[in-house]
Structure 1
């Protein structure tokens, strides 16, 4: 079965939320050195400004679940788009550390909501055999946004940081205008009793009317007695039969962050500058990291449907471990900014980025969007997103301090150990969901066979 062009367009427009996520989190790496100088920020204050967006994302992720259940996935994405526009417009005029923090909190609310809603929205409109690549389009947009922020940050490094942040208005407007033209999730509509509307959307999304009718029948069969409801959803989320999905979703989210990827994105220029790189060289050094990130997400988007979610993570994580061990060694020996050592360091960071992002960062939003039953999917995804942002907050608040305490080499070695633990977690706890309908995944949970599928 071929995925309709409309389904692809819907996924790409919705994934613009990921572009904003990537740009707004990535641009701080270029702007931070200017902000520290202009606002006379201490190391701790720099960590506060950087982390404000993550605090907002944590609140946005938790709040988005009940909202998307109540009013639908599409209207919730529209709310996130409005928050992106407000936060970006306001930060252009920030004139103090306090106003910077408030604006980044607003942007964080939008990012947290987007990470909770957009993957679910795409997963609920996508056919099973293309669900992996279409949901990963969200993560690919994140990578493109971050790479774009690195390139633009370097190109306009001699201009105001206000311009760096202001460019984010463009994709925010694209997301808002695009979502005005898209349908709501057919699964959400069906479970709200709006069966005729759900049927109309599925007929537009699927290749044949027969296929659409069969999918609607399956949705309704699993929806009997399980209407989407916030209060019931949280009770069901922590029930015994959903627990395997909870462990998988939250576990992948946790390891996605404690393995260090956002620490590299946020602070790589600062870390490189501290060991002797010039400001221009430090900013330039993260562009190859961004290229590796986008390449790895594109590869992962293919691999999750070709190899499977589980195999992709197991195949790639060892490469991330090796890349971090080499990077840590180069910093520890003081070779990171000298001749060939600088090249080895940059390439090893690129290797780490490729293998880590292509595995855990590709898997987090996809797995979170598909393993939970519909009755508590929003709540489960809220918890996945909240875990991601909570650990991200911890990492962002402590990375520079850890570098001062352990040295850059020690921090990279610590992240290598976390990647090894992530490999062990995937091996023992993550089943394969490639090509399986969302309703079949729910059936496996109900029958206790969820973890038996590890092919």
Structure 2
């Protein structure tokens, strides 16, 4: 019976149907926009294959560089500050990217400034995502989820959300345009920022036991209607 509760069916029931306060307070998600870099830049106005290749390579370089920088900032700046800065930057970058792509598509790719704005915005999005939300998703999940829920909560849910965004992106762009899709992503990021600001405490320097107790205590206080400062 113990094995059933800590693996498989028992874990999924606690994660989805009967979550403890520590589990209810945590949610993760990740944008899979990077998978469609070539299509995005092509719709922004880049048609030459060699230029499209170079711009796409630049995305990979930005991602690698800022993930490397993030490894030095996580324990110095703290998860919460870095996460809020990252998601706030994503809201701005995604909004600019949506605007740039909308103008580029409406002009048939003839506006040079719209193309430049789209490229700069895409690079900025990759940078701010890679320095915060990207790596912190895994760090925060491993710290916040109880040990028995960590595989499902931190990995399975993350991958499911990633696959959902990836598979629906092209259909979404056909329904509301590429620019519209990024405006929607900016809205989702804004909601995420508010969630992190009000519900996610700092975990830097705390042991796993202290973190679990923090979420458990805050959840109990919420249930009792008390104010909680995170």
Deviation at 1:241, TM superposition (A): 10
Matching of residues 15-164 of structure 1 within 5 Å: none
Q: 2:167 aligns with which of 397, 402, 427?
A: 397
In structure 2, relative to structure 1, the CA distance for the partners of 1:429 and 1:268 (3 Å cut) is same
Deviation at 1:343, TM superposition (A): 2.5
Matching of residues 343-358 of structure 1 within 5 Å: 343-358=116-131
Structure 1 ranges of 4+ moved more than 6 A: 239-242
CA-atom RMSD, angstroms?
3.0
Aligned length: 216
In structure 2, the partner of 1:364 is 137
In structure 2, relative to structure 1, the CA distance for the partners of 1:245 and 1:283 (3 Å cut) is farther
In structure 2, the partner of 1:342 is 115
In structure 2, the partner of 1:195 is none
1:428 aligns with 2:198: yes
In structure 1, the partner of 2:210 is 440
1:230 aligns with 2:3: no
In structure 1, the partner of 2:23 is 246
In structure 2, relative to structure 1, the CA distance for the partners of 1:352 and 1:371 (3 Å cut) is same
On the 8 A contact 1:326/1:345 being kept in 2, the answer is yes
The 2-side partners of 1:420 and 1:290 are apart by: 25
The 2-side partners of 1:337 and 1:357 are apart by: 31
The 2-side partners of 1:310 and 1:388 are apart by: 19
Unaligned runs of 5+ in 2: 222-227
Structure of higher CA gyration radius: 1
TM-score normalized with structure 2 length: 0.80
In structure 2, relative to structure 1, the CA distance for the partners of 1:279 and 1:320 (3 Å cut) is same
On the 8 A contact 1:237/1:380 being kept in 2, the answer is no
In structure 2, relative to structure 1, the CA distance for the partners of 1:324 and 1:436 (3 Å cut) is same
1:407 aligns with 2:177: yes
Higher relative contact order (CA closer than 8 Å, sequence separation 6+): 2
Deviation at 1:433, TM superposition (A): 0.7
